[in-house]
Amino acid sequence: MKPEITHVKSLRQYHHMMGMSGLKHPLIDIFTYQSLPKYEIENTVKLIFDFYIISIKIDYDCKTQYGQTTYDFDKGVMSFIGPKQLNVVNKDFQSPQKGWSVMVHPDFLAGYPLAKKIREFRFFDYSVNEALILSEEEQLSMEELFANIQMEYKRPIDSFSQDVLISQLDLLLTICNRYYNRQFITRKKPNNELLTKFESLLHLYFNDTLLAATGQPTVRYFADQLNVSPNYLSDVLRSLSGQNAQQYIHDKLIEKAKELLSSTNLSVSEISYQLGFEFSQSFSKMFKAKTNLSPLSFRQSFN
């Protein structure tokens, strides 16, 4: 029997589920894992939250994979959960020995630039196995930031409280973004392996009957094949090549189109069908945008 999905709509509901007390603000909370009541997961649980959860886990015995590769650093692991994301907690889950979590409802950010900016941090759409792995120095930096947020959170509320907390959250997330970019660099070998696998899948897809049968491939299709999230795949590719996954797919599509235009007598309509386009006009428009030539003009250049 599949586990039912539990929709956690508020921080208060989360506190009740975890057996916690002392929620100071209905839209933001911070706590340490050491302070959590003891709990066990008897069966797999599926959860959807209506708020952001930013966590750092320290002394984490539950070893996790980063894609298909183990972590470089074992000091601290950070994870990011966005609103409406499905999260699966398996029955063998172990709580970290140390660490922090900040929970922020989107309503707390309303009217501040961070309300828009937080949606641009792509790591909220990464999968659990694409967590941010911290070096010792980075972990100490993160612990200080979480401690500052907790210190401000515990102060008596005044007219500056929200401004200060949001500034601290903004700084925390900006530095996390920096560390993720570092991670793409330090994990160049496994990331290159991911790129190689992606290119192999791309080649197979475009040289099989899949294009005409199922249409153009999506980023999600390849991400699912590689067991990563679409955003993570695009960010890895961008860090290595300057192109995201969608640009890679489009370039491969144009490459295949050029091959068919220069080596076959198929009409533009027939080629657009083979390449998964529903309408030949859409194919012609993309081809010209990429090459500055119409498909027919490109073909004529070979005559």
Strand-strand pairing, 86-89 and 45-49: antiparallel
- pLDDT tens-digit series, residues 247-270: 888 888 888 888 888 888 889 998
Q: Which of 123, 148, 122, 134 lies closest to 57, judged by CA?
A: 134
Low-confidence spans in the chain with pLDDT less than 70: 1-3, 39-41, 60-75, 91-95, 128-129, 187-190, 208-210, 212, 302-303
- pLDDT tens-digit series, residues 151-204: 999 999 999 999 999 999 999 999 999 998 888 777 666 677 888 888 888 888
Residues 6+ positions from 214 with CB-CB distance below 8 Å: 276
- pLDDT of amino acid 176: 93
Distance CA 214, CA 200 (A): 18
pTM higher than 0.75, yes or no?
A: no
Strand ranges (E), 62-118: 65-66, 69-70, 76-81, 86-89, 98-104
Distance CA 94, CA 37 (A): 13
- pLDDT of amino acid 75: 61
Residue 8: what residue type?
V
Domains of the chain: 5-186 (2.60.120.280), 189-300 (1.10.10.60)
Q: Bridge-partner residues for 48, per DSSP?
A: 7, 86
Q: Which two tokens stand for residue 135?
A: 């070096």
Rg (CA), the chain: 24
Q: Which of 89, 93, 94, 114 lies closest to 104, judged by CA?
A: 114
Mean pLDDT of the chain: 84
